[in-house]
Copies of this chain bind each other. A is one copy, B any other.
Amino acid sequence: MTGTARGRRPGAPDTRAAVLAAARASFAERGFRGTTIRAVASTAGVDPALVHHYFGTKDDLFLAAMELPVDPREVIAHVASGPVEEVAERFLTAFLGVWDDPAIQPALLTVARRVIEPGGDRLLSEGFLPVVVQPVGALLGLDRPEHRMTLVASQVIGLILMRYVLRVEPLASLPKEAVIATYAPTIQRYLTGELPDP
């Protein structure tokens, strides 16, 4: 599954696997900020330049290590283009398109379970949030982007947990369109609505 979305499968399989394993361990133990390409390379027994060459930036390495079946940055770029007053609907349509896809969902659930595991909380707070979630706020040109994206994350994480991980009914079986219509006003308000002063 790894790398299929970006169509790049570089390096000897063993080297590649060693780098990704070292990266996963480091992100989980030391968080995103505490992880360096140099330390990951050292643990994997390869040259840092090789890690850069094969995986790109630390952001790229993080996404590769998480084995995401889609590159969230591509989805986000698509969502960010178009009228801002419909951005929540575009986001939810893209989000459910991926999560409801039976070919993609198992890999996403693996990522979700990795985040729920002990130590996985840092993958979320110091990995996904700064790498995947927070940049969206800036991309959309929102005021108080960090604050707003944190609110969005608080709803999206709960939706993932209830609909896909725990499969709680009736939310688990609700048609995609009903889920979008239910959550779009919430997400839209968090993104562009008036918020109480902090």
- The interface of chain A, by Cβ under 8 A from chain B, is 116-118, 121, 124-125, 129, 146-147, 150-151, 153-159, 161-163, 165-171, 174-175, 177-178, 181-182, 185-186, 189, 195-198
Contacts and interface: CB of A to CB of B under 8 A. Distances in A.
B196 A166 contact: no
Contacts of A196: 177-178, 181-182
Q: How many copies does the complex hold?
A: 2
Contacts of A163: 154
B186 A121 contact: no
A54 B147 CA distance: 47
A156 B158 contact: yes
Contacts of A165: 121
A156 B168 CA distance: 15
Contacts of A189: 185-186
A186 B155 contact: yes
